[in-house]
Structure 1
Amino acid sequence: MSDIKQEPIEIETGSGPSDSEYETDYSDTTSLSSTLYEYTYENGRRYGGPHAEKYMLPNDQKEEGRLDLRHHLWNLGLKGESFHVPIKPLVEQAKKEGRKLRVLDLGTGTGNWAVELADTYPDDVEVVGTDITPWQPTYVPPNVKFEIEDFNNSVWTFAEDGYDVVHGRNLIGSVEDWDQFMRNVYQVLKPGGLVELQETHITGAYSEDKTIESSVIPKYSEALAEASVKLGRRMDIAPELITITKNAGFPEATQTIVKSPMGVWPKNKRLKEMGAVGREIFNVGGAESYGLALMTRVLGWSVEDAKALCDQFKKDINNVKIHTIYPEFIISAFKPTASA
């Protein structure tokens, strides 16, 4: 198991950019049920569908852009791989059995991850991506398909032992009952199958040099945590996922925690690139995506107060003198075989 007790991220000094050089414009950079297109508009964002009361993130074009950037950031963090755990052995085992590897991507979002995996293994993998919002592309590889499904349903429609791999990414804030969710994952996985969760500890931002303490970033994080607990879709749950996974029947589950810096302050080239992308995720609307509905609907804040906090949060994320880091939790587990 690896964790965030790693060497501190080295900060670039001397020739680094000034704050003004990184000022960012925050402007806009199948047959389905009609309820999926019943949108509402508030605070300048679009929300909608039959789950809008509890799903606090918007489903507009700005949110699609944020999800695309978030996918890019995961690619950088995983060095171009779709998983932390190599799946090549699973692909080869399925081939020996004369079949394709079956992969279920829960909360597929814009479908980038599912499409890229299908493109990587065009002859060996079949991918099903599910979401509650129909914003996936129409033209996709023949070995991927998208379905409208709500993984918060207590009973899933997927066949028991029907998948070799289950993948979930950026689901925090969307899952109502993680214990039930992981029990359902266990049920749909074949014996020996892999589940991997890739989640940001969105309320766990920190800095190794305490520069975050003078910013509003902790206040923003606390607001998300308080509102999401009150709503029943916790955003502070990432550190508990390893225990939940083990309790669901995966006793050998492992946890890897990696650092995701925000901003261009790291000296390391790859971390600097990750930081630039991470910062932009908040600039294109991520701060409001997570904060506005929770702060106004759940905590009862005024729109003005919520937007003011989000604006100051973005300024602090963009400040190269504040060295913000988000922990990324990766939970990997194999379902025990009958003989285990």
Structure 2
Amino acid sequence: MRLNYPVVFPLNQLSFVGEDDSQFFCQIHGRRFNVLNDRYMLPSDEEEVRRSELQHRMLQFLFSGKNYVGPVDTLLSTPREDQSRPRVLDLGTGGGFWQVHILTLTRRRLDLADEFPGAEIIGVDLAPIQPRDVPANCTFELCDLDQWYLPYPTGHFEVVHARFMHTGVGNYARFLHEIARMLRPGGLVILIEPDTEPLADGKSASELRRTGQPSGMRGWFTLWEEYRQCLREKGIDVDVPPQLANLLASTGAFEQIVSQEGNIPIGFWPKDPVALSIGQLAWMNYDMMLPAMKPLLISAGKREWEAKKLIEEAHQDLYYPLVRASTRLHIVYAVKK
């Protein structure tokens, strides 16, 4: 049986994922990874799918129950002049939760494909880890986004959405030029990325160093600095998240750039009920992310016991925090001129 699950490879080679999708995965230090892009070194397995669901739920709390920011509903509810369906492209879709969230075999929660049944929605990722039973207007495709040209038409999409995926793109500025090319005039881009530098009581490692203050989370801060160094060695600019608005502006293709940022609590310390829910989901997300870093650390030259020690000490700070941990999230959206 061949599933209706199109796969876009570089050079526009087209194929289909069947029941046996093993060719799209490899094993690295005990975890399953994609085979299309070895720059992106977080797993592509069931554990990582569960983690992407936690991120999705966290953002829904942050967006007051919605799945997006900006005028998505206006763009996807307004008929196109040529009467064709409006189109959405979700880059780095992960488990596909932004498009459609499978709760049980017979019940779905309202997500983008259900909210806008008249729109054509495409989710793109490095590995086939998305659900196969989806609404007719939803498609998942495979493509390495870390390339000079993406195999989608110019001016084709009303909305392009990319979140939690900059660590798989070596030239993010070029990536944004490709997004601009694929959007039609008046189309919307939405970018969401967290900092890779942690915060303790609202202060980053660099701020704490300047004032000579201890972080109160030595193991946590040490692991994240090692992670940042691993990303640098793979050609990733770890300073992309706080520069999203500037990078968009530098393309010259966008206007009405809206930039929002805020500290996302990690843990159970917030008093506000919504902030507490966000903090709990963020805590579970990082609880799962720490062991997912192990293959990256070992591949970068750490011995297995060193990687294990780094993760264990960071986990100790996560489980028994002496300060209020958080991370800074950057959310930017803009309209193509």
TM-score (normalised: structure 2)? 0.83
CA contact 1:194–1:332 (8 Å) conserved in 2: yes
1:93-127: per-residue Cα shift (whole Å, max 9, x none)? Answer: 336764432100001111110122011112x3210
CA contact 2:166–2:172 (8 Å) conserved in 1: no
Taking the aligned partners of 2:166 and 2:144, their CA distance within structure 1 comes to 14
Structure 1 residue ranges without an equivalent (≥5): 1-29
Decide which structure has greater strand share.
2
CA contact 2:187–2:336 (8 Å) conserved in 1: yes
Taking the aligned partners of 2:160 and 2:200, their CA distance within structure 1 comes to 30
What is the letter of the counterpart of residue 120 of structure 1?
Answer: E
Select which of 35, 40, 44 maps to 2:27: 40
Q: Secondary structure at the match of 1:157?
A: coil
Pairing 1:150-161 to 2, within 5 Å after superposition:
150-161=144-155
CA contact 2:154–2:181 (8 Å) conserved in 1: yes
- What's the CA shift for 1:236? 3.5
Select which of 118, 141, 145 maps to 1:147: 141
Q: Residue 330 in 1 paired to residue 331 in 2?
A: yes
Taking the aligned partners of 1:245 and 1:41, their CA distance within structure 2 comes to 35
Pairing 1:207-246 to 2, within 5 Å after superposition:
207-208=201-202, 213-215=215-217, 216-246=219-249
- What's the CA shift for 1:288? 2.1
- What's the CA shift for 1:251? 4.5
Flag the 1:327–1:198 CA change in 2: closer, same or farther, 3 A.
same
**How well do the aligned residues superpose, as a CA RMSD in angstroms?**
2.1
Which stretch shows the higher mean deviation, 139-148 or 209-218? 209-218
- What's the CA shift for 1:128? 0.5
Taking the aligned partners of 2:96 and 2:172, their CA distance within structure 1 comes to 22
2:78 maps to 93
2:105 maps to none
Taking the aligned partners of 2:24 and 2:304, their CA distance within structure 1 comes to 25
- What's the CA shift for 1:320? 4.8
- What's the CA shift for 1:60? 1.7
TM-score (normalised: structure 1)? 0.83
CA contact 1:110–1:136 (8 Å) conserved in 2: yes
Query: Segments of 4+ in structure 1 off by > 4 A?
Result: 209-212
**Percent identity over the alignment?**
26
1:130-189: per-residue Cα shift (whole Å, max 9, x none)? Answer: 111001111001111111111112111111000000000111211111011000000000
Which stretch shows the higher mean deviation, 310-319 or 102-111? 310-319
Structure 2 residue ranges without an equivalent (≥5): 6-15, 101-110
Q: Secondary structure at the match of 2:236?
A: coil
Q: Residue 261 in 1 paired to residue 265 in 2?
A: yes
CA contact 1:75–1:82 (8 Å) conserved in 2: yes
CA contact 1:263–1:319 (8 Å) conserved in 2: no
Flag the 1:319–1:96 CA change in 2: closer, same or farther, 3 A.
farther
Pairing 1:39-188 to 2, within 5 Å after superposition:
39-42=26-29, 44-51=30-37, 53-94=38-79, 98-115=83-100, 116-122=111-117, 124-188=118-182
2:11 maps to none
Q: Secondary structure at the match of 1:112?
A: coil
